[in-house]
Amino acid sequence: MGYPVYVTIGNVLKDIRQKPSCRAQILVAYIPTSKLEGLGKTARRRAQANLFHSCLQLVLGPVALYGKTGVAMVGGDGVWHRCHPIFACFVGDYPEQTLATCTYYGRCPKCLASPDQLGECGPFPPWDHHKATETYSLADEGVRQFHAACREAGLKPVFHPFWETFPLVDIYLSITPDILHQLLQGVMKHLISWVTSLSAFGPTEIDARCQSIPPNHHITLFSKGITMLSRVLGKEHKGICRILIGLVINLPLPHGQAPTRVLRAVRALLDFLYLAQL
């Protein structure tokens, strides 16, 4: 068993890349999933992080090499070009993002916001990639000095991250949004549970409207309603988002309250979801 590593190129349309049948991504490696049970808890976490980065160094080593020297590639028109492949982005969920950026769990992998500031709506300075590479360049000089430098910088003491020698790369800018976990199974899951709660419109009327939706193209029919779903995946969340506004329009709130502000909040969060996916 192992964690699969896929690679794709940046000039492929998202509509094509997201379809497995189009094969816009190829499997290049498997990263070992060893539990390293002979080590202590702290030593195991550090060893697993170092194992991850060492494996990616082997897999992505040619990218760093040819990014500097270039390599001859033939295009779809049959013309040969001298290309310089650059590591552009890292796609993964939040634990994988913190693992790749060597940041601690509970911190933002892109900016310097502290854990108690993650909900605030203010700009925060980004992580400094140049400062991080300077910190990790001390890994060969001494363990105590290296660990002290990492502690001061707020980074994990990883022995030479895989992106350390990559040209024209900022790992903190390369982190992509996690649409599935952060938006669909985060914001949207909270929104759906809110509008179907008894303090809002309630599950009975929402499910009844779901069951009365006629068959149509590009929508998912929930014949038993949406509150009875036990395990909602990203596909189901997308289907619910397509019909959510239609489910709550003109529904009365308890105690005779006006639903205008609730509808405005639902529409604003849905707009945010679709704009973020662009």
For 244-272, the pLDDT digits (tens) are 998 899 888 888 888 899 999 999 999 99
Question: Exposed (0-12), middle (13-18) or buried (19+): which is 25, by Cβ within 10 Å?
Answer: middle
Q: Which of 30-39, 128-137, 232-241 has the highest mean pLDDT?
A: 128-137
The pLDDT confidence band at residue 6, using thresholds 50, 70 and 90, is very high
Q: Are strands 26-32 and 80-83 parallel, antiparallel or unpaired?
A: unpaired
Q: Is the pLDDT of residue 119 over 80?
A: no
pTM value is 0.79
Structure tokens at 228: 């009875």
Question: How confident is the model over 122-171, as pLDDT tens digits?
Answer: 789 999 999 999 999 999 888 899 999 999 999 999 999 999 989 899 99
The domain locations on the chain are 34-175, 180-277
Q: Is the pLDDT of residue 192 over 80?
A: yes
